[in-house]
Amino acid sequence: MGLTDSKKVDILSSGVLLTPEDILKACDYAKRKGVRAIIVPQRMVRYARENVNNTDVRIGTRINYPKADLTFEAVESIIQQSILDGASEIELTLPPLLIKYGKVEAAKRVLRKLVNQYKPLGVTFRVHVVRELRNNVDLVALADALMDVEGLDGVVLYNGESPAPIGDMNPFKEREIPIKLVQTFINKKMAKEANQYGASKIGTEKPEELLGS
């Protein structure tokens, strides 16, 4: 079934205007369709968790997104609170300038610390490779760096409403780093293409296009 299998699809519920009713709708859909996870803003993690209790649906959140301007200390604090609130999927955005100016070792130390601390609790960690990061760094160097973080669950490539960033997938695919491709809209044809180019999971704001209503 490829990426149209509900267990390989995440619902992305994002935006500053997101309401509890929006989260409840996403949770109900996820439970009904057997969707793997729902990614919500950090402020909504607890509410989402409460609405999928006693199910296999996981709750995730993006950390340091979209501005990627938090200190590592702030990132650690937010991740800790998110996990306490019920998140079991963490997607962390690294500051583009941190990578661009060669502070990769510092980033790897933080990632290793977080993975080692929370992985035993069943938490999934991915690095969110936003467009700004992809435009400002050597993706091959980034992929090489991430290979050194044992236990990391892969990368998230987010592209909004644009076509899948096929070229951006290659450095991670070649190093067998799992890729989750996230777009606002993905239909079955797009999911098949993304799978062929290396994506192993899909995230979308409109899961009905893949899984039906």
Q: How crowded is residue 147: how many other Cβ atoms within 10 Å of its Cβ?
A: 13
pLDDT digits (tens, 9 = 90+) for 110-152: 889 999 999 999 999 999 887 666 666 678 888 888 999 999 9
Q: How confident is the model at residue 73 (pLDDT cuts 50, 70, 90)?
A: confident
Choose the CATH number for 2-211 among 3.40.640.10, 3.30.450.40, 3.20.20.70, 3.40.50.300.
Answer: 3.20.20.70
Which residues are within 8 A (CB) of 39 and not within 5 positions of it... i.e. 6 or more apart? 10, 11, 12, 13, 14, 60, 61, 62, 89, 91, 203
pLDDT digits (tens, 9 = 90+) for 163-210: 656 778 899 999 999 999 888 888 888 888 888 888 999 888 888 888
3-state helix, strand, coil in the chain (%, to 5): 50, 20, 35
Sign of CA dihedral 71, 107, 159, 194: negative
Structure tokens at 42: 């950090």
Q: Domains of the chain: which residue ranges?
A: 2-211
pLDDT for position 1: 52
User: How far is it, in rounded angstroms, from Cα 90 to Cα 94?
Assistant: 12
Instruction: Please report the DSSP string for 146-194 in residue order.
Output: HHTSTT---EEEE-TTSPP-HHHHHHHHHTT--EEEEES---HHHHHHH
CA torsion, ordered 47, 49, 51, 53, to nearest 10 deg: -150
What is the pairing mode between strands 124-129 and 9-12? unpaired
pLDDT digits (tens, 9 = 90+) for 8-60: 888 888 766 688 999 999 999 999 999 999 999 999 999 999 999 999 999 99
pLDDT for position 101: 55
> Which one, of 41, 43, 47, lies nearest residue 27 by Cα?
47
- pLDDT exceeds cutoff 60 at 100: no
Structure tokens at 22: 């929006």
